[in-house]
Structure 1
Amino acid sequence: MLPGTRRALSHRIAVAQAEGRAPSLVAAVVRAGRTVWHGARTSQEGHEPDENTQYRIGSITKTFTGVLVLRLRDEGLLDLTDPLEKHLPGTGAGEATIADLLAHTSGLAAETPAPWWERTPGELRPELSDVLGEKPLRHPVGRRFHYSNPGYTLLGALVEKVRGASWEEVLRREVLEPLGLNRTSTRPEAPYAKGWAVHPWADVVLPEPAEDLGRMAPAGQLWSTTGDLARFAAFLTRGDERILSADSLREMRTPAAPPEEGDVVSGYAYGLGLELRRWGERLLVGHSGSLPGFLASLVIDVEEDVAAVVLANCTSGPLPVAVSADLVRIVAEAEPRIPEPWRPMREIDPSVLELAGPWYWGTQGFGLRLTADGLLSLEPLSGKGRGSRFRANGDGTWTGLEGYYAGEVLRVVRRPDGSVDHLDLGSFVFTRRPYDTEASVPGGVDPDGWRGTDGDWAVTDAV
């Protein structure tokens, strides 16, 4: 990092700690999969936290739980469309699908029945019924986004049921240990920050209780460090075949829940255990977290390959999401990402190469490009329109990866002599020329072809 960039990052967290009146605040920036900067500010000289100091991370825990659930799906042990009742009967919320729970569209209440669960010993709620209450639903299942902490408690119980082990044990064995997250735990391990409440009208503090959340642990129990969360951010960006593939993580980063009206304005959406925010011109994915005495944020700009982590030990004050978004912006603007050098493909199938070039959907022009990563890219030649990348299926067809054509199949229709007649994309016909008379266009093409006008062409009089 350039000295000017480092100073700008240090200045940003210094302002956040001072203006937010946080006892301490730590941050880290990740680029290209490794930590490139760490900073800390504290009100207690001689006790500066570092990248190994634990803070409670609250709802960032939900992303860890989401990873565990996606692992079960990838192993074929469940499907995201399965109702919860299929795997975890008798909860009273079994109509909700696993995807509903991950995306907060289950209709479940936002919180547990009283008392305030974040400040109450977890052993007071030993059963799932204690977490859900007598009437767990607040909305029809699958109809709207409504953030639910109990929903992630059910997902944790699902992991336990399918794996036959505790959520904590499964998490450590399947995620924490493989990624080397040795300073992430369900209970604080020294050195760790104490949680404080800062009086809103006086510069005095009050210690907050650090309760073990019990059944609610999968929704917010974890303690972690900027060092560990930086490694976790690198994993969320790139994937790790030992844990979860890049494709599955891309699925987690895709909006899965319709945003509420206020969220549309703020640019907020939710995927499968990950939040998505439109911050200026940037799309940031990650998760925020809070518990009494602690605030946390992890955000990733996947396009720039920059992530930031911010942790503070106060109940309210600084806005970690805003601070982490600014850290990403500072790096991306001060030191723009240098693209990888262009390299030609090593091998090419001639039957695929002949597809490259212009195609027409009716009269609208598109360009089909074969890229070095083996994908086909179909984009409008001008203006805005439907476009997508396509991955080969191994049988001569390709499947769309995003946008309108996500999941749709592109296939080549050939004539008896082997020449290409047209492309079929979800029944839409793409031809080499606009309404090519030599191609099989549904509805046919007027045999008189294209023409000029004699002044009588736009309207036909009624007979």
Structure 2
Amino acid sequence: MTAPLTTLLPTTARALHHRIAVAQAEGRAPSLTGAVGRDGELVWTGVRPFAQEGDEAGVHAQYRVGSITKTFTAVLVMRLRDEGLIDLQDPLEKHLPGTGIGEVTIAQLLAHSAGLGAETPSPWWERSSASLRPGLPEVLGEHPRKHAVGRRFHYSNPGYTVLGSLVEEVRGDSWAEVLQREVLEPLAMSRTSLEPQAPYAQGWAVHPWADVLLPEPPENLGLMAPAGQLWSTVADLCRFGAFLAEGDDRVLGAPSVREMRTPSVPAESEEWDATYGLGLQIIRRDGRTLVGHGGSLPGFVAGLWVGVDDGVTAAVLANATSGPLPSLIATDLIRIVADAEPRMPLPWRPLQEVDQELLELTGPWYWGTYAFGLQLLPDRALALQPLTGPGRRARFAAVEDGTWIGENGYYAGETLRVVRHEDGSIDHLDLASFVFTRTPYEPEAEIPGGVDKDGWRGLLG
């Protein structure tokens, strides 16, 4: 396997520095810092402005990351699911009774499709004392639901507060303690914390019409912490981004983080290039699918984005209430690296073991007159794809009983099985009741059979 590159070309590094320099200047941010990781390694960091030439101490300074915190909360919930302590389809009431929204499911809360309001009742929770919201009734209010359950995406800060309370109820510890023990420590995120730890950036508001500043006092969010409390650095966030791309069995395995990255709700009609998974935003930029999250709290804006296919993660943090657009900047950093220095493909290797029965399955198959090719992959997996034009394609994972389960596309979750004659030879493939034969409408196959006894013919005169 080719070792990952841990340095960037000088031209790429300069393009990254130029991008954050423009962002800091045009966004009028007191400071702006960025980092890029590739294949799990930190390959670039930058900060504007420098305290002095060559001083990048700001890269190690904490900034508040706002709603990026929600992704951490989602990871904690997914861990509960993987341990069998909850099911994502469980109604909230099963584990956290008495909220008044108990019929919504945990999955709907994760995906912002539970119909809950976007914000708490007044006053604005980001700028008021947490003592005003000592319990979930004060967070949810008298009329917590704004939409029918499960019908649409409606971003909800109270929804993630509820999920934080769910974690506390099931674990028997505070959300902060569980987060530290189960995510931050295993991932070595020592510069991520609930309260700021020096060095950290001061939050500022920048006057929209003059180059003057107003300090933004940080509020402890109290019960709302699972929706936006965390402070972090760009290096720590890139480490977290690498986890979101590959998984880590100490925290959450690859299948579960892949589930988090899968769209869970329909996009709004004006946002066809953006949707939401389970605690992760999903967007299309520059022909790439990216996952991550943005965040903001008074005095700070943040963005963490991951290009899984390119193996590139980018984080951008700024200490201004408004102005810079960290998510847009971060996606630009990914584009710069991925375009200038494309990911090297893994070298082709032959399979270590060959199963002749599986090899016999490969090659062309026909569903009616549609031609498909079936390919053998490592770990006894199969891939089905149309031989011409668009069509239904899918990867299938092997199951111990000799069948395969679809992992994506139209056939996700559907069973592929081999149907054999009494002598053991293959008759056809059955995929969700669709019959695939070796020739179009194979005459000898029971289903669909030759269909017409006179067979194929030319155009009748």
Q: TM-score range by the shorter chain?
A: over 0.9
Q: Which of 282, 286, 298 is the equivalent residue of 2:288?
A: 282
Q: Which of 314, 319, 326 is the equivalent residue of 2:325?
A: 319
Cα distance per residue 1:212-261 (max 9 Å; x no partner): 00010000000001111111011111100111010000000000011111
The one-letter code matched in structure 2 to 1:268 is A
Q: Is the 8 A contact 1:42 1:48 kept in 2?
A: no
Q: Which of 24, 35, 39 is the equivalent residue of 2:46?
A: 39
The one-letter code matched in structure 1 to 2:99 is T
| Deviation of 1:280 (Å) | 2.2
| Deviation of 1:52 (Å) | 2.1
Match of 2:29 in 1: 22
3-state SS of the aligned residue for 2:266?
A: coil
Match of 1:204 in 2: 212
Cα distance per residue 1:365-386 (max 9 Å; x no partner): 0000012353211000000000
Mean Cα displacement is larger for which, 175-184 or 119-128?
Answer: 119-128
Q: Which residues in structure 2 correspond to 1:384-423 (within 5 Å)?
A: 384-423=390-429
| Deviation of 1:445 (Å) | 2.0
Match of 1:460 in 2: none
Q: Is the 8 A contact 1:253 1:271 kept in 2?
A: yes
The one-letter code matched in structure 2 to 1:4 is T
Give yes or no for the alignment of 1:165 onto 2:193. Answer: no
Q: Is the 8 A contact 2:444 2:450 kept in 1?
A: no
3-state SS of the aligned residue for 1:261?
A: coil
Distance 2:258 2:386 in 1: 24
Distance 1:440 1:45 in 2: 79
Match of 1:376 in 2: 382
Distance 2:103 2:167 in 1: 18
| Deviation of 1:44 (Å) | 5.2
Match of 1:441 in 2: 447
Q: Is the 8 A contact 2:306 2:314 kept in 1?
A: yes
| Deviation of 1:292 (Å) | 0.4
3-state SS of the aligned residue for 2:58?
A: coil
Match of 2:372 in 1: 366
Q: Is the 8 A contact 1:153 1:215 kept in 2?
A: yes
Match of 1:458 in 2: none
Q: Which of 103, 106, 117 is the equivalent residue of 1:98?
A: 106
Cα distance per residue 1:263-298 (max 9 Å; x no partner): 22xx11000000001112011100000000000000
3-state SS of the aligned residue for 1:404?
A: helix
Distance 1:304 1:165 in 2: 38
Q: Which of 344, 361, 364 is the equivalent residue of 1:355?
A: 361
Distance 1:43 1:337 in 2: 31
Match of 1:459 in 2: none
Q: Which residues in structure 2 correspond to 1:2-401 (within 5 Å)?
A: 2-42=9-49, 45=52, 48-264=56-272, 267-401=273-407
| Deviation of 1:42 (Å) | 2.3
Distance 1:164 1:348 in 2: 50
3-state SS of the aligned residue for 2:158?
A: helix
The one-letter code matched in structure 1 to 2:187 is L
Q: Is the 8 A contact 1:42 1:49 kept in 2?
A: no
The one-letter code matched in structure 2 to 1:118 is E
Distance 1:67 1:374 in 2: 30
| Deviation of 1:103 (Å) | 0.3
Mean Cα displacement is larger for which, 15-24 or 435-444?
Answer: 435-444
TM-score, structure 2 length as denominator? 0.97
3-state SS of the aligned residue for 1:283?
A: strand
3-state SS of the aligned residue for 2:183?
A: helix
TM-score, structure 1 length as denominator? 0.96
| Deviation of 1:121 (Å) | 1.8
Distance 1:159 1:426 in 2: 38
Q: Which runs of 5+ in 1 are unaligned?
A: 456-463
Distance 2:58 2:397 in 1: 44
CA RMSD of aligned residues (A): 1.2
Cα distance per residue 1:281-331 (max 9 Å; x no partner): 011100000000000000111111111000000000011111101100000
| Deviation of 1:143 (Å) | 1.0
Q: Is the 8 A contact 1:26 1:49 kept in 2?
A: no
Match of 1:461 in 2: none
Q: Is the 8 A contact 1:343 1:372 kept in 2?
A: no
Distance 2:188 2:96 in 1: 31
3-state SS of the aligned residue for 2:69?
A: helix
Q: Which of 422, 428, 432 is the equivalent residue of 1:426?
A: 432
Mean Cα displacement is larger for which, 255-264 or 355-364?
Answer: 255-264
Distance 1:45 1:51 in 2: 14
Structure 1 stretches of 4+ with a deviation exceeding 3 A read: 43-51
Distance 2:225 2:79 in 1: 19
Cα distance per residue 1:191-225 (max 9 Å; x no partner): 00010000000000100110000010000000001
Distance 2:416 2:434 in 1: 9
Q: Is the 8 A contact 2:379 2:398 kept in 1?
A: no
The one-letter code matched in structure 1 to 2:106 is I
| Deviation of 1:342 (Å) | 0.1
Mean Cα displacement is larger for which, 366-375 or 17-26?
Answer: 366-375
Match of 2:456 in 1: 450
Q: Is the 8 A contact 1:65 1:155 kept in 2?
A: yes
Cα distance per residue 1:414-433 (max 9 Å; x no partner): 00000000000000000000
Distance 2:282 2:257 in 1: 13
The one-letter code matched in structure 1 to 2:396 is F
Distance 1:187 1:348 in 2: 55
Distance 1:12 1:73 in 2: 40
